């Protein structure tokens, strides 16, 4: 039954497409291509250009760059690499690396670790099968 339905839908779509193509209005006529017109010089003008070539004008030098925006100063030197350590908080919010190892930081890290452990305690992943299942 399903095969007949699909064949009927396909035949209907093909018929509708053929009817549309046969009855659609003709597209508008294409505009003729424009002729390209090239300016020509008289022979006297060409001779004048050849006998008295004008020198190229000298281009002005590059203007100096504007001063930096107010409140902005580019870094004087590259920042040194930061050593990552266990139980040390790195704060980059001010643009400078601040390392801190306070009791409040340690309490926040421990609370976050407990929260992650609680959220993932029931999560398990199935083991990969030893052999792939046979194809259907």
CB 105 within 8 A of CB 91: no
pLDDT of 34 reads 75
How does residue 99 score in pLDDT terms, banded at 50, 70 and 90?
Answer: confident
The CA distance from 16 to 23, in Å, is 11
Residue 69 pLDDT greater than 70, yes or no: no
The predicted model gives 49-63 an average pLDDT of 64
């Amino acid at each position: 039954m399903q095969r007949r339905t699909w064949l009927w839908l396909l035949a209907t779509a093909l018929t509708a497409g053929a009817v549309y193509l046969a009855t659609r209005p003709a597209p508008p006529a294409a505009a003729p291509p424009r002729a390209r017109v090239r300016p020509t010089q008289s022979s006297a003008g060409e001779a004048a250009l050849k006998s008295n070539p004008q020198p190229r004008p000298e281009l002005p030098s590059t203007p100096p760059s504007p001063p930096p925006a107010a409140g902005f100063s580019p870094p004087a030197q590259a920042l040194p690499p930061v050593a990552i350590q266990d139980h040390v908080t790195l704060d980059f919010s001010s643009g400078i690396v601040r390392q801190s190892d306070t009791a409040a930081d340690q309490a926040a890290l421990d609370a976050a670790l407990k929260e992650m452990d609680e959220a993932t305690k029931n999560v398990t992943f199935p083991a990969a099968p030893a052999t792939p299942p046979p194809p259907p």
